[in-house]
Chains A and B, each alone.
Chain A
């Protein structure tokens, strides 16, 4: 059957797609093709370029170069409406429908049945009911969409696509907020749509689901195409290798790990749980030790970081700093304990865009000092210049708004901000995400030098080589749980990957 498909013409084909953003090459001559009646998984870690590719094919973003073909015809969708008209329907994780409108109205918005210019609500409800029976959904279509679960909304989004005669369904993390029985229902529908000849692109971070439903897999990494595989030909371990880029690793020189011989615990987390995202995780960070945290997107690693910084509150379990039990209700509490966090989403949670580098660096220190003990602009500048020089931040001066810097330099500023407060524990969540290669190496070097200076670090990352390069120990997360803790001789990128992949 697969061979048959190879001879068949692709339903939807993107070739040589490139897209650059200021400072980052998001996609570099990427190819992707979709055959009728197949589910094609598009995989890659954060920043691999998946969402950029999806945005290009659904008309949200314009490509810099390359060619998009639908049924052998070149197309140029310049907005989402146009893409949908052509038959490319997107279904997003956060359902992009209108929760305030009725189910039926969501299905037919813009194409309502009318008579003399008046919408025929009953007719529309009838049409909607009929459409949804195909999806085995028996619900009140006149109720507003917000009354239904995300799973149902997801199905309705798919139904809308199908009703608009979609040839290609782009499913971006549709299962992220569904439970297993809901996923089953969704997959039943997808199988049915497959038999109807619709091509489906499926993005997810649940690898089991990839093997459950997909026929073909395309892997992206750092904006480049790694390969296209038949699902049946690609064992899970090789898939993870492809995603995380293991084959590139020439086993970098093992770092000289300062044996945490003193083994004096700085941070002890015991069975900590956070609603819906962290399940009984225990870990320890000793003084002067760098602990890594590995796991795929959605495994719970970011949520552990957030909980340790008081952004999310614990449902159960306890956190100890220096043997003292502490309660973290807000980030100020964590800062008081000497904990600092460079968040994963730099743009919304890290930088304060319009403010200068100087102010961005001085802010955390200022919060710590209290509002009445003002750090005068001159002192701020001295502090900032110190870090600009030692971190090699590329800027003409400390007054440049941080939003005008590249991702790597922004990250250095955030690091500087927290180091200025002399934290006892520095938590870094994906410190190299969305950063170009050159700055990437610099940040790693910086983290390494922090290790050498004896800073206690907890680093969450999906870049395994990085972790192996500087971590004393690595905690592996999967499905909101800690599944392994590796150290010493066991600690290799291979073994981490093995732990991540294990079912």
Chain B
């Protein structure tokens, strides 16, 4: 009996490992490639109370997408999608920039209102999806179209710049030598992981994503679960928008977070989650983010045209989706079988 128990948990561990195998392999491959190109790629040095080097740079740059990916993971797990995160980033950035420029609100107030604007956007998205029954793609498309307009309106069509040491700390400050943005990602990751995996929320999210009808029979309020997921995404997007704004000390409603919704979705897909909902893993999605950002850096460092990025991402998405598709797997194994026979 004890023996079988052990073998069970061993198998479980193997199962979990196998979900990590491919993303980790991809990341390692990229890193090895980089080290071969430039032996000092992974070097980190400490200077003026702060760490420098490619790894830190990759982590710092990936912070906004990492935050988006955390929210996106949960939304996708409920069987939805949020296309508006880039626009929400723009709104939150514009809200904060204007508060900093036009009022003398305290830093805390600015941060609170910035976050609140994102959560409100999430509430709207979630309301449209779970209470009005609009398909998630369309519901969030609305805010994707309108959101940048709202941000532009707040900024009166300008790039609003500000000088505020406290707020800029979000983007360019360091804590213990490590950029604040990385700490923020770690904090949001830990809190969401705690909320989702140390309470039953994560299980409820997966249940709703796998089978909303059966979840209703179990007494799970699927609408509330979905609403919360979109609110979490709104929160994450707002924080990402604020980091981006703090980074450039201004709000550029046109360009902030452009295409980042796609990167976030790609990260979740690279992490192995199914777009139809169900099982999710935030650590795996973050691994996906690291792959994407390392790829960006690799292309930049190796001197290839940076636009190759888009091509490679496109091919990566299609390949990962094909590998998840039953039809494709059958075709491949069929082909392999025929090849072995001949």
Taking Cβ atoms with an 8 Å cutoff, the residues of A that contact B are 309, 311, 330-332, 334-335, 341, 343, 348-355, 359, 362-364, 366-375, 396-399
Contacts and interface: CB of A to CB of B under 8 A. Distances in A.
A373 to B, nearest CB: 8
A371 B199 contact: yes
A343 B211 CA distance: 14
B323 to A, nearest CB: 17
B200 A374 contact: yes
B210 A366 contact: no
A366 B211 CA distance: 17
A335 B215 CA distance: 13
Nearest to B277: A354
A364 B211 contact: no
Contacts of B214: 348-352
Contacts of A348: 211, 213-214
B211 A396 contact: no
A371 B211 CA distance: 18
Given A366-B200, A371-B201, A399 B15 contact: yes
A355 B217 contact: no
A332 B204 CA distance: 14
A331 B203 contact: no
A350 B203 contact: no
List the 6 closest pairs (A to B, CB-CB), nearest first. Answer: A332-B219, A397-B8, A371-B200, A367-B219, A331-B219, A352-B211
A355 B278 CA distance: 8
26 contacts: A309-B217, A331-B216, A331-B217, A335-B219, A341-B217, A350-B217, A352-B210, A352-B215, A353-B211, A355-B207, A355-B210, A359-B206, A363-B220, A366-B204, A367-B200, A367-B204, A367-B218, A367-B219, A368-B219, A369-B200, A370-B200, A374-B198, A374-B200, A375-B200, A396-B8, A397-B11
Contacts of A334: 219
Contacts of A341: 217
- Chain B, interface size category, equals 20 to 34
Given A353-B210, A396-B8, A399-B12, A363 B203 contact: yes
A399 B201 CA distance: 19
Contacts, number: 81
A75 to B, nearest CB: 28
B325 interface: no
A355 B8 contact: no
B218 A363 contact: yes
Query: Which residue among B200, B206, B211, B219 has the maximum number of chain A CB atoms within 10 Å of its CB?
Result: B219
A144 B211 CA distance: 33
Interface string B1-32: 00000001001100100000000000000000
Contact of B217 (A343, A353, A368, A374): A343
A363 B204 CA distance: 8
B158 interface: no
Interface of B is mostly: helix
Count chain A CB atoms within 10 A of each CB in B11, B210, B211, B217 and give the residue with the most. B217
Interface of B: 8, 11-12, 15, 198-201, 203-204, 206-207, 210-211, 213-221, 278-279
Contacts of B204: 366-367, 371
A432 to B, nearest CB: 19
Given A334-B219, A348-B214, A352-B215, 8 more contacts: A311-B217, A351-B214, A355-B207, A363-B220, A369-B200, A372-B199, A373-B200, A397-B8
Given A349-B213, A371-B201, A355 B206 contact: yes
Contacts of B217: 309, 311, 331, 341, 343, 349-350
A309 B207 CA distance: 19
Contact of A399 (B8, B198, B213, B221): B8
Contacts of B220: 363, 367
A350 B213 CA distance: 8
Contact of B278 (A332, A335, A354, A364): A354
B219 A330 contact: yes
Contact of B218 (A364, A373, A396, A399): A364
Nearest to B225: A371
Contacts of A332: 219, 221
A374 B195 CA distance: 10
A52 B187 CA distance: 54
A364 B206 CA distance: 14
Contacts of A397: 8, 11-12
Contacts of B198: 374
